A and B are shown apart, each in its own frame.
Chain A
């Protein structure tokens, strides 16, 4: 009885081990959907999981969402201990607190793909996929400078005080400062519609003449537009947002004059990272390295390529 049980257990363990060896588990750790852009990240991650698991039956994706850096570090431990992941695709909440947890996953032989926010120490990740915040600021600045002919008055609504926001803002200001365009003021609107509305109301009170608004983000831009409509000043200026929210891209496609363009910062980059990571386990093509996605200027001509009506963002 006792002996046969032991044999049974040994066989079961062996069978289980073989099954594990045949399946490659890829952990995906992303921030919870707390605002529009992260909502897009969640949607694209789910899309990529469905597609990749159907295409490659030996791959399994486990998606975890976290509400804070500490929670994300806990998720990492669970992914390693419980799910026994072979690879990790992570969009770190913040760079500093997650560098060591990711490094320790790396030490245990996990293949690491980092998305969007780089880690604080070089050489940990095998693959890096990111948008380009500097180029996003530059593309926005170039459009506004060209459209205004190098002179005029603008206001800037910033995001949440973070490295991402600083990179965009600094790159934007570096191009705008040498021109005759005057930046009347910049204030934080926290990538939030309500804050965008209130900050813009106050800018409109304060400045009788504004030629353009750099809202940097599509959620902020939507708040800005309502404030402009309320003040009846929607015909005297234009607004440049960013990210690629479907409502804004639809507007660009339809030739909206208030928001004539959008600057892409695609939440779909999480799907790019998952696809690249999957290739590592299903093919021999070389994939190691850094993938920096363009921050494209979306105009009425190319908007259709970036319009995803099913995405929540």
Chain B
């Protein structure tokens, strides 16, 4: 008897979240709720300067006046913002000098995630800024990077050590007034990563951060600020796994990229937050604001593989301000069971001769809803700008949905904007072709889906490509109904 599709389906249904485990580490939590006192508490816990506290409070006041957006094609129970603890940090011990001092429990967590720090340090040449619940615990390869003048540290460290840089750039791409979740993040962000690449430096390794929600009931409010000074280059990896939880967890991050003249930033994400169980219970709410701004002849490239989260609301964007700047967006979004995703990008062309490319591949299975929502705006002065967008959707079952909502706004006659989208299921002839050559249905689907997403997966750095492919397989195989 061969392994039937039905069996596989059952197996998948019963398969629990692979990376769902909870690390038992003592952690310090702020009381539940959100008010100015809590914000002051967060700020004082982190020994923050007054200007940052003022910034937080200002953002909080703005946030109070805002209403939660409801235009996205997702339905979910609105989180109760007064029922979340806004700060959780592993108990502070003395400054860590070496790995031996790191909590062994924590080390084991990392091992389970497959990013053992020792291994990473010795073999892969990847500097890992490991974020365990909000506070950076271990940062490696710092010395090597600092030789080149590269700053790669946690956000709170940066606030203390490089306040001028933080003050100058923070909130310039995603202002605290931008939207509901970015305002919330600006008010209560706990920690995150800060990266500065000096003039003319080509970062020799892929910088990577692993985010992880660990404490039950704590929302995670990361803030990433990445500055690539003139003529520099950096490739940044961000990956997420989260433990299994019953209640909905909120994740509202802000990522700001600044590419100064002739700089290039490559930002890759693999997102695998807990998507909820097969009945749609639990799962992470992922409401992220990601945006980059380009100077002259600079380039920002977003690559994302989205497989997790119960609800995703995410639009990594590029403001192409400088002439001849380039924006790219490559995305694979997979939804299964009751997941909902409303994701896409915004390409805002301001400078002359700017170029943008959007490749979005959506795959929906189970009873999920997967939407692409993207804006291409060609401003009045964006002469000779060029955009190409392609959004394909693949439907795996007759109960899921795939939607495309492109917004094309063109205000300059010399610009060329192209958009195309298709929605279809896996071709029966393709499937037949594979199966007739002795490939099982299961394998054939995996093959076809991989081929379908290849265009995007190819853009991922080596370290991530393998993980991404694995995630795709876990999320999808056999989900054809």
Q: Do A and B bind each other?
A: no
Chain B interface residues toward A at CB < 8 A:
none
